[in-house]
Amino acid sequence: MKLYELSAARLISLLEAGEIKASEIQESVQKRIDEVEDRVHAYATLDRNTETGSSKSAGGESVLDLKGIPVAVKDNICTKGVPTTCSSRILEGFIPPYDAAVINRLKKANAFLLGKTNMDEFAFGSSCETSCYGPTHNPWDLSRIPGGSSGGSAAAVASGEAILALGSDTGGSIRQPAAMCGVVGLKPTYGRVSRYGLIAFASSLDQIGTITKTVEDSALLMNVIAGGDENDSTCSNEDVPDFTKSLEGGIKDLIIGVPDEYFVEGLDKEVEEAVNEAIKLLSGLGAKVERISLPHTKYAVSTYYLIAPAEASSNLARFDGVQYGLRRDAEGITDMYKVTRSSGFGEEAIRRIILGTYSLSSGYYEDYYLKAQKVRAVIAGEFKEAFKKVDCLITPTSPTTAFKIGERIEDPLKMYLSDVFTIPANLAGLPAMSVPCGFCGNNLPVGMQILAKPFGEKTIFKTAYAYQENSQWHKRKPSL
Ligand code: GLN
């Protein structure tokens, strides 16, 4: 039995039955890393000295136990004592003195932390190519990108270099790489999971979420990481259900909305067919399917590329060479800032800082930033109306399957369009999941996206699980 290939839920049941030991799982995954990491390059930092946390949680509340299951963590989530760089030179040598809220929770739940996964620099990108460590390779075809920005996390889970992983999603960075690597990626509702210790990209859009092999593993990991946090005032105190309980029950009478605006020019034919087949399958299981319209969808990408860089330019101002990370000395403080920042940030980060600073400047603020905020409100309102009529929405996750390394890196606009279907959920703060729903002729995975209203993760889990249990896609493994 190759333990690294199994899901967390299956491994936990084997552990509970006494058939295997946690150390065997950890060894199996570590061996797999030794075997394939050279080719996949999923990690920015491997932590070979991991200790699991204590199993006792304060206050006597029920403790979720991951029993030593190996988990990989995206490199923008702070880990005490382990380098955290956002795959950027500007954070070279930065070792956080504290753990992010999600890391605290993982440690309390006895997770075995494997290391930090590679990502696009500061999560700016859709291909994992803007990392200062070089690209991650897609386990299904090493000449292709794994998606981004959480490409390292998705590739690690797909290749068996981790059982579970955390990513972050500002405009699609969990769902798009999950789709391209054939795994399950969930961006929870904005505020469902604490962002304390997540290095900020765009604070009104960022959300930490899960990348897993199966839908039930996503529920399991969400049980560990979701819930209020006094260190993050945007984190909601909304009750956290046991997500594993919302899997069963079927989808009879569920109303699925299929928005016309997500089946448009630019959508790959094979991707479209796979998603349409999946919708047919769900309808066969008793769901009602309705075509709907979300007419403002076409403004989402431009709205996002005003708001996200604006917030990024302000968040990135803190990297000045004074307190942490890279420092290049020069005469006088202004020159020190200049040389440090120009040599620390990569091209895409610099582009976003310039874009964001521009749209926040006096005179342009009203014309661009403020206008984008108004469009954002319209897009959110449109979803709100839709969810009065339907329980969830189904769309493709990304218009194409994984593209070749180097194919879009010189063309930012083409790259930005990879997220045309994922960005709206971030603008509206909605939960959304990508689930494997087929393969294209060239043996590359396709993902289907399921969206629900805020805090409607239960509906997503129920729908995704019903689909998974009646399909086989999640069982295929890349041959590496
Ligand atoms: N690809 C999008 C961007 O470049 C989204 C990235 C993300 O979700 N972090 O901004």
11 and 154 fall within a common domain: yes
Does the C-beta of 149 come closer than 6 Å to ligand 1? yes
Q: Locate 218 and state its tokens.
A: 């996503």
Ligand 1 centroid from CA 382, angstroms:
22
Domain boundary among 323, 345, 374: 374
211 and 321 fall within a common domain: no
Ligand 1 centroid from CA 206, angstroms:
9
Give the nearest ligand 1 atom to 150 CA: 9
Does the C-beta of 419 come closer than 6 Å to ligand 1? yes
Nearest to 66 by CA among 106, 7, 17: 106
Does the C-beta of 169 come closer than 6 Å to ligand 1? yes
At residue 221, the pLDDT reads 98
Strand order in the sheet with 392-396: 43-46, 112-117, 70-74, 164-169, 207-212, 184-187, 432-439, 445-451, 392-396, 255-259, 288-292
87 is annotated as an active-site residue: no
Ligand 1 centroid from CA 126, angstroms:
6
**Using N-to-C axis directions, what is the helix angle for 101-108 and 215-225, rounded to 10°?**
110
Nearest to 398 by CA among 268, 282, 218: 268
Ligand 1 centroid from CA 151, angstroms:
11
74 is annotated as an active-site residue: yes
392 and 312 fall within a common domain: no
Half-sphere exposure (CA, 13 Å, Cβ side) for 303? 25
Q: Concatenate the DSSP letters of all residues of 12-41 into one string.
A: HHHHHTTSS-HHHHHHHHHHHHHHHHHHH-
Catalytic residue of the set 87, 88, 127, 149: 149
Does the C-beta of 172 come closer than 6 Å to ligand 1? yes
Whether residue 185 is contained in a domain is answered as yes
At residue 60, the pLDDT reads 38
156 and 232 fall within a common domain: yes
At residue 61, the pLDDT reads 43
Instruction: Let me know: does 429 contact 458? Beta carbons within 8 Å.
Output: no
CATH number where 153 lies: 3.90.1300.10
Nearest to 450 by CA among 237, 268, 262: 262
Whether residue 230 is contained in a domain is answered as yes
DSSP letter for 369, please: I
Catalytic residue of the set 74, 108, 213, 462: 74
159 and 66 fall within a common domain: yes
Does the C-beta of 189 come closer than 6 Å to ligand 1? no
470 and 326 fall within a common domain: no
Whether residue 61 is contained in a domain is answered as yes
Whether residue 261 is contained in a domain is answered as no
106 and 160 fall within a common domain: yes
229 and 318 fall within a common domain: no
Whether residue 274 is contained in a domain is answered as no
Does the C-beta of 64 come closer than 6 Å to ligand 1? no
Whether residue 292 is contained in a domain is answered as no
**Using N-to-C axis directions, what is the helix angle for 22-40 and 8-16, rounded to 10°?**
150
115-142 confidence digits (pLDDT tens): 999 999 999 999 999 999 999 999 999 9
With helix as H, strand as E and coil as C, how does 303-323 read?
HHHHHHHHHHHHHHHHCCCCC
Residue 270, CA distances (Å) to 42, 439, 440 in order = 27, 8, 6
Ligand 1 centroid from CA 52, angstroms:
31
Whether residue 73 is contained in a domain is answered as yes
Ligand 1 centroid from CA 44, angstroms:
19
At residue 50, the pLDDT reads 61
Question: Is this structure's pTM higher than 0.95?
Answer: yes
**From 121, 122, 170, mutation site for ligand 1 pocket: most ligand atoms within 8 A of C-beta:** 170
**Percentage of the chain surpassing pLDDT 90?**
94
Q: Locate 381 and state its tokens.
A: 């309102």
36 and 165 fall within a common domain: yes
- Return the exposure string of 174-210: e unless at least 16 CB atoms fall within 10 Å of the residue's CB, then b: bbbbbbbbbbbbbbbbbbbbbbbbbbbbbebbbbbbb
CA distance 193 to 208: 6
Per the structure, the complete domain to which residue 329 belongs is given by 298-374
**From 77, 149, 347, mutation site for ligand 1 pocket: most ligand atoms within 8 A of C-beta:** 149
**From 119, 173, 355, mutation site for ligand 1 pocket: most ligand atoms within 8 A of C-beta:** 173
Atom 4, ligand 1: which residue's CA is nearest?
125
Reduce the DSSP state of residue 116 to 3 states and report it.
strand
Number of Cβ within a 10 Å radius of residue 406: 12
Instruction: Let me know: does 393 contact 386? Beta carbons within 8 Å.
Output: yes
| Cross-strand partners of 209 | 167
Residue 284, CA distances (Å) to 157, 277, 395, 435 in order = 30, 10, 18, 18
At residue 1, the pLDDT reads 84
Domain boundary among 343, 374, 405: 374
459 and 347 fall within a common domain: no
333 and 470 fall within a common domain: no
Catalytic residue of the set 87, 159, 173, 236: 173
Does the C-beta of 122 come closer than 6 Å to ligand 1? no
344 and 227 fall within a common domain: no
298 is annotated as an active-site residue: no
Whether residue 293 is contained in a domain is answered as no
Domain boundary among 313, 345, 374: 374
Number of domains into which the chain is organized: 2
pLDDT means over runs of 10, the chain (480 residues)? 96 97 97 98 88 42 81 98 98 97 97 98 98 98 98 98 98 98 98 98 98 98 98 96 94 97 95 98 98 98 98 97 94 96 97 96 93 98 98 98 96 91 98 98 96 98 98 96
Ligand 1 centroid from CA 58, angstroms:
36
